[in-house]
Amino acid sequence: MKRWMCVWFVLPMLLAAGETDVVATKYGGWEECYEFSAPKKKIKALMVLDVGARLIQYSLDGENILFDPEDSRGKTLAKNKENFWTGGYQIDVGPEMRGIPPHKDLWAGPWNAAQRGGQGPVLARSGNDSVLGVRLTKRVSIDANGVLSVAQSIENVAEKDLNYCLWDRTLCEGGGYSLIPLNPKSRFKAGWCWGTYDAKLPGGWAYNGDTPESPNVKVMDGVLVTHCFGKHSKLGTDSDAGWIAYARGKMLFIKQFPVDPKGNYTDGGIVVANYWSERVAELEPISPEVVLKPGANYAFDEKWYLIALDEAVDSHEKARKLVGMVEGVVKK
């Protein structure tokens, strides 16, 4: 009993000492934003409500791991008729291979938010989307070590049963190396599958799990290590580890997410995907597809970590050596 009393007394003292902070702000022409910070770790994150409450920055000592294109800053659906690329992280609705109808308001429309005090969290909600019949919610907070808790959920606001999954699409600055542990009991012959784009397909992508290959990709002691740079490409795995990591320069970005061994992963059997081009590396954890009764919701929660490295990662071999560090972080 005394231990619990001690915890409750210490926590307010830590928060009051400036361990974390969340403030309303503006950025790049966007009017409604929230900045999350862990000052002692020099880590900051930025959520922009104007374009889907997406996280557009997650930075360490001023260097942003997320893709934040300058030519898209300040753009909104209300101001721009043409499509624009906002970058950063957004939670989407899948499965991708089904070819879900376009849903611009969910993806990049304005969201509403409420904050509890000066340390967060921030609870952001989309409007009710008439196209898909759902509403999306994010609850974001930061701790003293700069770890982001990103709680994502989908709610059925229609009058019929719906089948969807949640699809995290996080665009990072390109050129780094991704790490995904392979499932020793994978449904794929090679442990992973290669994506081929075809505009005629409902979701645009088909996957080959028999003989995937790419000069960007190496399988190294059970880990898929990918140099995320070059012609636009995509791969997927049914990894059961519950994390994907991305090393760029002297930063290591880790996304930890739940995996359901009995889940219905209908996006080609993929649990996590990785897309890349000359500009970006996209990290894509995917939830199982679930049946949502009217009024029901489903949550898919993540933790994000940003860690400073002693030396820059510039090879598959250097990236592979980081796996022990990642495992130590996610097992805490």
What is the four-CA torsion angle of 126, 129, 132, 138, rounded to 10 degrees?
Answer: 10
- Which residues span the domain enclosing 238? 2-330
What pLDDT, on the 0 to 100 scale, is given for residue 6?
34
Burial label, 309 (beta-carbon count in 10 A; 0-12, 13-18, 19+): middle
| CATH number of the domain to which 202 belongs | 2.70.98.10
For position 209, what pLDDT does the model report?
84
What are the residues whose beta carbons fall under 8 Å from the beta carbon of 252, sequence distance 6 or more? 245, 246, 305, 306, 307, 308, 309, 313, 322, 325, 326
Radius of gyration of the CA atoms of the chain, in A: 20
Q: What is the dihedral of CA 249, 177, 43, 120, to 10 degrees?
A: 170
pLDDT of residue 10: 36
- pTM, entire model: 0.93
The secondary structure element, H or E, covering residue 104 is: helix 104-108
Q: State how many domains the chain has.
A: 1
Each residue's pLDDT, cut to its tens digit, for the chain (332 residues) gives 333 333 333 333 344 447 999 999 999 999 999 999 999 999 999 999 999 999 999 999 999 999 999 999 999 999 998 888 889 999 999 999 999 999 999 999 999 998 866 777 999 999 999 999 999 999 999 999 999 999 999 999 999 999 999 999 999 999 999 999 999 999 999 999 999 888 998 888 888 888 899 999 999 999 999 999 999 999 999 999 999 999 999 999 999 999 999 999 999 999 999 999 999 999 999 999 999 999 999 999 999 999 999 999 999 999 999 999 999 999 97
For the beta carbon of residue 297, count every other beta carbon within 10 angstroms.
16
